[in-house]
Amino acid sequence: MVYKQGEVQLVKAPADTKELLKLRKKLNLEVSIAQFKEMVKNLPCTVIDKMTDRQFDQLLMKEPELLDYLLFLPNREIDSSFGAWCAYKGAAEQRKKAAKADKTITEPEINIADPLDFVRLARLLTGGDMSVMNEIDYADIGSASNFFHMHKQSFAERGIDTMSDLAAYDSGKIWLLGLVDILIKHDYACELDWKADIEEFVWAVEQLFIVRAMSLPVNSFGLFEDDDVELWLTELNKNWQTLNFCLLQVDINSDSYVLVPCLLHVLDKVMDTAAKSHILNLWQSGVILKPWQSGVRTK
């Protein structure tokens, strides 16, 4: 049997952020929502590098609404007959023998994040709250695997039972979720489903420690019920600027929003540390920073 292999392109942009989130989930894309938004600005764009025509048909049978968004572009034909398989197997054996003779072993790429970057983020976002810092003991633990096993219950609650579920060769993902869960535990962050309504948004943000401690207003800015989390966040940030605060999003590559209040005078350090940690994507929605006494740069 001969089948076609090719790439899948996105040819139509979803109507809004909610649809974009649903599309990313259905395609199981390993990109952040911010990266996905950038991709769809220049259509068509490739969302799946390698797929067969049969797999594409199965995807559309399972999710027929994707037909409006996707296009399959074949780039090669593959013969799956027994004769072709024998030829492939023989060539594979030859490559295996050559590699063994060469003693060349390809090791998986490993991304080892610096845990101290996440310690700095915790300190900046909480003002060095000792209840948080005592849990952010990455430096003493020494490895992502140790931290994972010490906080196994927290990861299990996210449906992550083993390190292989989290990408064993990417320690940054472990540090990131560990940091987020600790911030949530101590009310420095909250996590909202992408389809949260306005009451859920207002209640969750009002419960945050910094919001309560600094009496930051949440529901007095004319937030509209028919909008979504990102629009409420944008409106909130426009008004919080005068109070020297903003509400950051932390992208954990899921359908949820993790929100963290941040003082504007440490925002530059937070953003620089987040960029340095590579795996952590932090960004502001609707924040147009103005120069002020603490030296925050203009955006």
b/e per residue, 109-140, with b = 16+ CB within 10 A?
Answer: eeeebbbebbbbbbbbbbeebeebeebbebee
Helix (H) / strand (E) element for 243: namely none
> Would you tell me the crossing angle of helices 115-126 and 171-185 to the nearest 10 degrees?
20
Supply the Cα-derived Rg of the chain in whole angstroms. 23
What was the pLDDT predicted at 130?
93
pLDDT in tens, 178-206: 889 999 999 999 998 888 888 899 999 99
Q: CA 118, 120, 124, 129: dihedral to nearest 10 degrees?
A: 90
- pLDDT > 70? residue 102: no
Q: How confident is the model at residue 99 (pLDDT cuts 50, 70, 90)?
A: low
Contacts 24+ apart (CB under 8 A), 266-274: 266/124, 267/296, 268/295, 268/296, 268/297, 269/120, 269/124, 270/121, 270/124, 270/125, 273/117, 273/120, 273/121, 273/124, 274/121
| Distance from the Cα of residue 223 to its chain's centroid | 26
pLDDT in tens, 39-65: 888 888 888 888 888 888 888 888 888
* Cα–Cα distance for residue pair 238/245, rounded to 1 Å: 10
pLDDT in tens, 241-290: 889 999 998 888 777 889 999 999 999 999 888 887 766 677 766 554 44
Q: Per mean pLDDT, which range of 108-117, 128-137, 146-155, 189-198 is the poorest?
A: 108-117
Helix (H, G, I), strand (E, B) or coil at 290: coil
Quote the tokens at residue 138: 């990455």
What was the pLDDT predicted at 105?
45
- Domain extents in the chain: 2-102, 115-284
Quote the tokens at residue 29: 């894309």
The residue to which tokens 């209040």 are assigned: 261
pLDDT in tens, 224-244: 776 778 888 888 888 898 899
Give the residue from 243, 80, 12, 181 showing the smallest Cα distance to 173.
Answer: 181
